[in-house]
Amino acid sequence: MTEIQKKLEIIKNAIDDKKGFDIEALEVGKMTTIADYFVIASGNSSNQVSSIADEVEDKMEEAGFMTLTTKEGYGSARWIILDYEDVIVHLFHREEREYYNLERLWAEYEKMSKEEK
């Protein structure tokens, strides 16, 4: 198992442990240099989204991945971003996730990139 696969597994399990849902890992490394993967998940309340973020941080630290370079949105807990360099975790309140629909945006970007080739 590669390091990035281990990170993805830890993150997905941490989200699942706190009852996060609609967990998706998008491979974006071919489309951008900001990360290799985006992990996107939802929670039903701001408290749950904060709890999921805390769990991800705790489990990543326990596994020795202490490279959290950016943490944004924790105060409002409507959309929290945890940046682990090659994996960026997007934790959304369900309503925010429906509104921003990152999966659709990245799918359209990938489609445009392929059409340009």
pLDDT of 30 reads 82
The overall average pLDDT reported for the chain is: 89
Domains along the chain? 3-116 (3.30.460.10)
Beta bridge partners of 92: 42, 79
Give every CB contact of residue 86 below 8 A, 6+ residues apart in sequence.
4, 7, 29, 35, 36, 37
**Which parts of the chain have pLDDT scores under 50?**
109, 111-114, 117
Entry pTM: 0.88
pLDDT of 113 reads 45
Residue 89 amino acid letter: V
For the chain, how are helix, strand and coil distributed in percent, rounded to 5? 45, 25, 30
pLDDT of 31 reads 81
Q: Euclidean distance between the first and final Cα of the chain, in Å?
A: 32
